[in-house]
Amino acid sequence: MASAQQDPRLIALHEKAVRLLVHKLKCIPARVFPSGRKPTIIDIYENNVAAFHIPNFPPCYQLDFVLGNYHLFVAADFKVRKKEGDMNVSLAIWFWQMDQYHSFSRRHLQVRLNILMACIIGLSTEPHRYVTEDALEFSTALLDAWLWTVTRQDDYEKQEIFLTQWVNGPYDLMRFGKKARLEMCRAVKNLEKYVPDPQYAPPDNVPIWEGVKYVSPKFVKTFGPAWAIQHIVAVEKSGKKIDELGKTGEVEDALATGSFFAGFGSMGLGPEPSGLSLEVFGRPLVQALLHEEEDLDMAVPAEGGLGEAWMNPADAIEMVEGTSARYEGMKDLFSKVKWGEMTDNAA
């Protein structure tokens, strides 16, 4: 192979590839990748699948889709749109955690509040007092998809089941405005008197999910809802320290894994790598990376395209607060939960 140092064309292509990789990966949290770090330019050149392939993502929404269609994500403002725009882009955004209101992430507050209510409604002896049958199915599918994601299962069956319901049905996730969000978070924090601390949580407040990645589906079915409740209450109890980690984007993951500084050379902050050739830049993933629309800064569309909330946020707040006789008491409801020792053997 010719060296990039000997061919100005290869140097130019390399510089463009580095620029576009940094630019296009800004919208993706590092935590999404199994390694906990974003892929480097060397990973892309060498097709290091382990660095960027997500086992529980459908093939059609893997990294090549994002890189090759980045302009469509920009056009959507990296937000899910149920009633407009490119549906494949919206579905990909769900998986890649670009939208804090639509994801399967444990780091997004709005998603966590929906998950908590899905757990609570699922525990209710009379769920149809609060939601319709279709909304109950929607929230159950959402919980399954979320648990499937955070436990790093090796397929995407549950996510696809939920997203099929989301696409074809009227419902969407609840959104809590500023005042409602504060009220809900305060009510969730008060649940600590009914919800025991996770038994396997390390003393240094490392997220409790880290200890049970890749556990069996049987474990998820048995303990998943209890695990979700404990985690969500623990986040509010800790003053959202875990939640704050999710807001800092790529840096918190890179610092935690030590890849923040280690990846600089490969990202192009050092000399260009040797062994480049035109063949490298003709590889499919590299071609997707190099694809660039003339205008990457398209006009951002107005907010819209949302569905109907599967549950009224005001009802959710009142139910968790436990101040109304219209709802089941949280103490009685949580007494039904199997909190057991959450290990794969316990399932």
User: With 80 as the cut, is the pLDDT of residue 294 above it?
Assistant: no
What is the pLDDT of the chain when averaged over all its residues?
84
**pTM listed for this prediction:** 0.85
Instruction: Give per-residue pLDDT as tens, 201-233.
Output: 444 444 556 666 667 788 888 888 998 999 899
Residue 341 lies in a domain: no
Domain that holds residue 145: 4-334
Please give the tally of structural domains in the chain: 1
Residue type, 126: E
Closest to 269 measured CA to CA, from 22, 13, 94, 89 = 22
Instruction: Give per-residue pLDDT as tens, 102-115.
Output: 999 999 999 999 99
With b for 16 or more beta-carbon neighbours within 10 A and e for fewer, the 18-34 pattern comes to bebbeebbebbbbbbbb
Residue 237 lies in a domain: yes
Query: Which residues does 19 contact at the CB level (< 8 Å), separation at least 6?
Result: 268
Instruction: Give per-residue pLDDT as tens, 45-78.
Output: 999 999 999 999 999 999 999 999 999 999 999 9
**Per-residue confidence at 84, pLDDT binned at 50, 70, 90?**
confident
User: With 90 as the cut, is the pLDDT of residue 27 above it?
Assistant: yes
Residue 95 lies in a domain: yes
Residue 18 lies in a domain: yes
Closest to 291 measured CA to CA, from 39, 20, 43 = 20
User: With 70 as the cut, is the pLDDT of residue 269 above it?
Assistant: no
Residue 243 lies in a domain: yes
User: With 50 as the cut, is the pLDDT of residue 121 above it?
Assistant: yes
